[in-house]
Structures are given as structure tokens and as C-alpha cells.
Homo-oligomer: A and B are copies of this chain.
Amino acid sequence: MDVFQTIKERRSYRSYLDQPVEEEKLQAILEAGRWAPSVMNLQPWKFFVVKNSDVKAKLKAASQETLQTIYEASGWKWVSKISLEFMTEAPVIIVVAGDPQKTGADQFLPGRGQGYAYSCCAAVQNMHLAAHASGLGTLWFTLYETGKVKEIMNLPAELDVVSMIILGYPVQPEASMKRKPLEEMVMMIE
């Protein structure tokens, strides 16, 4: 699929079919993550591919608690109404973890030091695009508490959980979310 078409047509899905992801497609998606650019080519990422139902259920339960935490802190009513069924519905959750020690020169600059996470996000976006081009759907999921996820998955202490990608065949096509016009986000300095 053409890269411009893929970028424009990618959507976020919150409902998935009970249908496994073919191993070949999964490998191609991970391979797309592997080729992301990273600070000093440190490739500071690990991709934990969760297919295990128990682990997915525990991640969902933990995020359910997290929603409550967010609701209490924010007062945002929509947070209390979010359904997390997709976390067990989807056949795969890719937990993307990064190593904060592999962050390059930005560790020496004020207010910086997130290069490892930014690199992980490039890998995340590559995987979103690769999934879409493979006929799959994804959700960039961030409603979790790092400590809880690390405990459930027994992740190495030095890693930070940068993002989760929910992955599977979507139930139905999703309408496009609107974007602001380009003029509102671009400033020309000529």
C-alpha cells in the first residue's frame, strides 16, 4: 500500500474480531518497528508481544483501576465511561518498552533526556502503519500505570513502558477523525 495513502487512512480501533493475527503479518509489523530511526542508532526498544489471555486480562484490570485514578484526579466524566473490552478482545497487545539509559546526548541538556522514548514512538508509528497496510487495526493505548504494567509482566527494572499497541482485525471500518487545517499548524519562516 502506498505510504501516503497508509498515513492518511490509518485509524484507531476500539473493537476487534475474535480472529488471530497471522504470524507472517505480525512479523512484518515488528520488522517495521525494527527499522525505525533512533537516537545514535541505539535501538533502545523492546517489543513484548502479549498473546496470553491471562496477561491481557491482568493488564485490562490494572487499566480499569487506572481509569478510576484518572477520573478522581481529573473529574473528566468520559473517563468513567470508557470500556476496555478491546484489551482482551484483541488477539495481540504489543507493549513497547524503552531503556532510558539509551537516550544519547540529550541526557546532558536541560529539560531533555527523552530521546529513548521518542525513538520508541517512531517504532510505534511504523507499526501502526504496517498494521494498517496489512489490513489490521491498531490503537495507540496509553491509559496505564507504568509500575503496574511492569509488575504484571515482570519487566526488567531499567525499562520504561512507553506505549502499548492494541492489534487485531477491527470489527468495522472506522470513520476518520477530523484534523485541524494545515494552515493552523504550519508557520512559514521564509
Quick one: which of A3, A49, A73, A178 has the most chain B CB within 10 A? A3
Q: How many copies of this chain sit in the oligomeric assembly?
A: 2
Chain A window 173-190, contacts with chain B (Cβ cutoff 8 Å), 1 for yes, 0 for no: 000011110100111111
A21 within 8 A of B: no
Give Cα A160 to B106, complex, Å.
Answer: 14
Give Cα A21 to B133, complex, Å.
Answer: 28
Give Cα A31 to B4, complex, Å.
Answer: 9
Contact among B48, B70, B133, B177 with A4 in the assembled complex (CB-CB below 8 Å): B133
A64 within 8 A of B: no
A65-113: which residues lie under 8 A (CB-CB) from chain B?
A: 66, 69-70, 73-74, 76, 79, 104-106, 108-112
Give Cα A105 to B163, complex, Å.
Answer: 14
Are A182's CB and B55's CB within 8 A? no
* Given contact pairs A52-B189, A142-B104, A70 touches B109 in the complex (Cβ within 8 A): yes
Complex interface: chain B residues within 8 A of A146 (CB): 109-112
Q: List 24 A-B contacts (CB under 8 A).
A: A3-B6, A7-B35, A10-B37, A33-B185, A46-B186, A48-B189, A49-B188, A51-B189, A69-B108, A70-B105, A70-B108, A70-B109, A74-B105, A76-B105, A104-B142, A109-B144, A109-B145, A111-B146, A117-B118, A118-B162, A121-B125, A125-B125, A129-B129, A153-B189
